[in-house]
Chain A
Amino acid sequence: MKIKNNINAAYFFLAPALSAIFIFFFIPVIAAFIMSFTDFDIYALGDLSTVRFIGINNYLKLFDDPLFYTALQNTFYFVIMAGPLSIAVSLGAALLLNSKLVKYKAIFRLSYFIPVVTTLVAVAIVWRFIYHPKFGIINYILSLVGIAPIDWLGDTATAMPAIVLMSVWKSFGYNMIIFIAGLQNIPEDLYEAASIEGATGWQKFRSITLPMLAPTTIFISLITMIGYFQFFAEPYIMTQGGPLNSTLSIVQYMYQEGFKWWNMGYSASIAFVFFFIILLGTIIQLKIQKSTE
């Protein structure tokens, strides 16, 4: 860089954004970490002097808390079901839209993508009625093939799968766009060479498309996993975490402990376990990425 350097100007440009991030992001992260070692509760809100350091007691309590395990289990169940399903659907949609046979791609792409930009709370409410046991569209469609009405959101066995289906519908369009970009980056002559050697469509998909898409797929897995791990509004709106806590998510449990019961110290320890799991997942995915390169 040859441009004349004015240090003061650099600091002037950086100061607003960096001070905002420092004061309202970094300091709260550190404060949350410290809080997780205290018994910060509703009394502390009124009188800070009641706060005491209690070491790792919050974390010990957490590992003895059946509701925490339930939330953790639900969250993993959600991520493991919705993640791969969403990736598969988005890859399928991307492959179809990338086909040379198709014109008017923009229209199809748009209708697949609309759910992504719309407000989660609003569409979760719509889906609540779509899953309605008496009048819902889903049960109507099932009734056409003779299946008796199912109380989707009211049954512990079906509530989470119902939320999974809605979440896949809401977000597959996002990954589809990234997959389309990935597909367009695969050199055309690879396919031509394979065709000359008589490869079938499936063979081309297996030995050209999938390997060439590997970096894209890893990236998508990572952002999908992180995004789904934070799910909150879906159960909050559709089931309130029920029935019998079968859809209670980690973030929802953190929210309840922290902002409903004001057990903020305890809630902070949930937040850090949550962060730790995301961190671990990211490291694993990055390791996989390194090994594929």
Chain B
Amino acid sequence: MIKKYLLYAFLSVTSVITLIPFIWMLGASFMFDGKASVFPPIFLPDPFTFTQYQILFERLNVWRNFFNSLILSSMVTVLYITFTSMAGYAFAKYRFRGKKFLFNLLLSSMIIPSQVTMLPLFLLLKSMGFINTYMAIIIPGLANIFGIFLIRQYCISIPDSLIEAARMDGATDFQIYRKVILPLAVPILVTLAIFSFLGTWNDFLWPLIALTDDSMYTLPVALANLMLEHTKDPELMMAGSVVTVIPVIIVFLALQKYYIKGIMMGSVKE
């Protein structure tokens, strides 16, 4: 019994410690200037104010960056799911020349870190006139090998008889993909959609390189930039952090089952 209570006490204390940065962030974001820079630190805003959010959205136009992040993350996710699901399905259910070679080539390229591609990718997109446009973020996010791999694994478990039956009914290849495969693959598609959405939303290095104008920045880049000018305004910076973090927490809470499953699937691939 005592062991059980000790365990609960330990879990509760460590959970609260883990969440303290968020609790302080949220509290400080509702404080007036200077209220968060006190010793000892306080967590509850008194008085409570929306001033920081007003400055953020009205004076600093952070809503632009919020919409950039939202639109880019959504667009990348839709295209990414379309591209990778088609390729993953083809690798799972079609025979074609060079399939094994192609697949192994892709698999072994998963080890190449994306940072290696960034210099030439920048030059390539620059020559296409895409730097500092949405295209600069969308194009590198269209497809990745990990997604193709995960969808292929999932599609392999779909029985061939379902595809055969649809073909007997006169369905075309595209109709089979659209009407048979996609509905069955919804769980894995949701998983990958969360990865893609959160990945694009949270990404920092590439947007920092590819977007060069305040009005084009995604939230993390805008926030990093703001930090340089407002090092002494914790209240304002915390409001910015809340705006950046809340949407991902909402997406995660709504779909956490799929996210957790995705981590486990990624981990058993070896």
Of B87, B142, B249, the contact of A13 (CB 8 Å cutoff): B87
Residue A226 CB within 8 A of the other chain: yes
* Interchain CB contact under 8 A, B245 and A118: yes
* Interchain CB contact under 8 A, A3 and B249: no
Q: Which residue of A lies closest to B122 (CB)?
A: A259
B219 to chain A, nearest CB (A): 7
Q: Which residue of A lies closest to B242 (CB)?
A: A122
* Interchain CB contact under 8 A, B83 and A254: no
Task: Give chain A interface residues in 88-116, CB to chain B under 8 Å.
Answer: 93, 96-97, 99, 101-102, 107-108, 110-115
Task: Give chain B interface residues in 238-270, CB to chain A under 8 Å.
Answer: 238, 240-241, 244-245, 248-249, 252, 256, 259-260, 263-264, 267-268, 270
**Of the 9-residue stretches A63-71, A77-85, A190-198, A232-240, which lies at the interface with chain B?**
A232-240
* Interchain CB contact under 8 A, A27 and B20: no
Task: Give chain A interface residues in 128-180, CB to chain B under 8 Å.
Answer: 128-130, 132, 134-137, 140, 143, 169, 174, 177-178
* Interchain CB contact under 8 A, B120 and A32: yes
Task: Give chain B interface residues in 97-128, CB to chain A under 8 Å.
Answer: 102, 106, 109, 111-113, 115-124
* Interchain CB contact under 8 A, A10 and B94: yes
* Interchain CB contact under 8 A, B7 and A135: no
A6 to chain B, nearest CB (A): 5
* Interchain CB contact under 8 A, B119 and A121: no
- Chain B contact residues (Cβ within 8 angstroms of A): what range? 35 or more
* Interchain CB contact under 8 A, B8 and A278: no
Of B15, B120, B221, B267, the contact of A112 (CB 8 Å cutoff): B15
* Interchain CB contact under 8 A, B142 and A102: no
Of B38, B201, B267, which is in contact with the most chain A CB atoms at under 10 Å from its CB?
Answer: B267
* Interchain CB contact under 8 A, B119 and A122: no
* Interchain CB contact under 8 A, A96 and B224: no
B41 to chain A, nearest CB (A): 5
Given contacts A26-B109, A32-B119, contact A108 B227 (CB under 8 A): no
Task: Give chain B interface residues in 2-18, CB to chain A under 8 Å.
Answer: 3-4, 7-8, 10-12, 14-16, 18
Residue A214 CB within 8 A of the other chain: no
Residue A216 CB within 8 A of the other chain: yes
Of B37, B83, B267, the contact of A17 (CB 8 Å cutoff): B83
* Interchain CB contact under 8 A, A108 and B15: yes
- Chain A contact residues (Cβ within 8 angstroms of B): what range? 35 or more
* Interchain CB contact under 8 A, B237 and A129: yes
* Interchain CB contact under 8 A, B124 and A96: no
Residue B144 CB within 8 A of the other chain: yes
B157 to chain A, nearest CB (A): 13
Of B20, B173, B223, the contact of A125 (CB 8 Å cutoff): B223
Q: In the assembly, what is the distance between CA of A258 and CA of B123, in Å? A: 11
Complex interface bits, B188-206 against A, C-beta within 8 A gives 1, otherwise 0: 0000000000100110110
Q: Which residue of A lies closest to B117 (CB)?
A: A28
* Interchain CB contact under 8 A, A251 and B205: yes
* Interchain CB contact under 8 A, B15 and A3: no
Given contacts A1-B93, A121-B220, contact A135 B38 (CB under 8 A): yes
- A residues near B36, Cβ cutoff 8 Å: 129, 135
Given contacts A1-B93, A25-B117, A35-B119, contact A137 B204 (CB under 8 A): no
A251 to chain B, nearest CB (A): 6
Residue B55 CB within 8 A of the other chain: no
- A residues near B7, Cβ cutoff 8 Å: 96, 99, 101-102
29 A-B residue pairs with Cβ-Cβ distance under 8 Å, sorted by A, are: A5-B95, A10-B95, A11-B96, A16-B87, A23-B124, A24-B121, A28-B119, A32-B119, A93-B14, A101-B3, A108-B11, A117-B259, A119-B202, A122-B245, A125-B238, A126-B241, A127-B21, A128-B227, A129-B24, A177-B260, A177-B263, A178-B264, A251-B115, A255-B208, A264-B123, A271-B118, A271-B119, A274-B116, A275-B116
The 5 closest A-B pairs by CB, nearest first: A9-B173, A31-B120, A17-B87, A10-B94, A28-B117
Beyond the given pairs A32-B116, A251-B115, 19 more chain A to chain B contacts, judged by CB atoms under 8 angstroms and listed by A's residue number, are A9-B173, A10-B95, A13-B90, A16-B87, A17-B142, A20-B139, A21-B145, A25-B117, A27-B120, A28-B120, A99-B7, A121-B223, A123-B245, A129-B24, A129-B28, A177-B264, A255-B209, A272-B116, A289-B270
